[in-house]
Amino acid sequence: MVATAIGFGLLAMLGWGLWAVFAKLATNTLPPALAMVISYATGTVIAFGYVLSQRGSFSVPTEGALLATVAGIFAGVAGVAFYSGLDLGRASVVTTVSALYFAVPVVVGILFLGEIIDAADVAGIGFAIVAVVLLAR
């Protein structure tokens, strides 16, 4: 189970890494918002195809649909900001700074969900911040 999760995590890393490269290239010839719409529309088709390929029926509870909608709102805002950043700056800086998104759920988890972090977690976040500062110079 863990090996499969790590495998999917690595596939996601590779996919998002290549997505960022091609998104940067797309902003060389397209306005960032249009590049984002085309990219996200393509991703939506793939995701929809994946859902349709799953066996069995599925239901859409109202709470889950509402939470997914809110997640989509934040993803849309982040997408516009990401593509705009790519259009204006270096992909290495924009992608590195935006990759710190993982710190947001850590803070929210601590403040609102009662999650606990240890010294290794704090050190990891600290090293990530140092990396961003060094790469953004």
Residue 1's pLDDT band (cuts 50, 70, 90): low
Q: How far apart are CA 12 and CA 18, in angstroms?
A: 10
Q: Is the pTM of this model over 0.95?
A: no
Sequence-ordered list of residues with C-beta below 8 angstroms from that of 40, at least 6 positions apart, any chain: 76, 79
DSSP 30: S
Tell me which of 42 and 92 has the higher pLDDT.
Answer: 42
Domain-wise residue ranges, the chain? 2-135
Could you tell me the two tokens for 67?
Answer: 């939470």
Tell me the per-residue pLDDT of 18-46, one tens digit each, with 9 for 90 and over: 999 999 999 999 999 999 999 999 999 99
Tell me the per-residue pLDDT of 47-86, one tens digit each, with 9 for 90 and over: 999 988 988 777 889 999 999 999 999 999 999 999 999 9
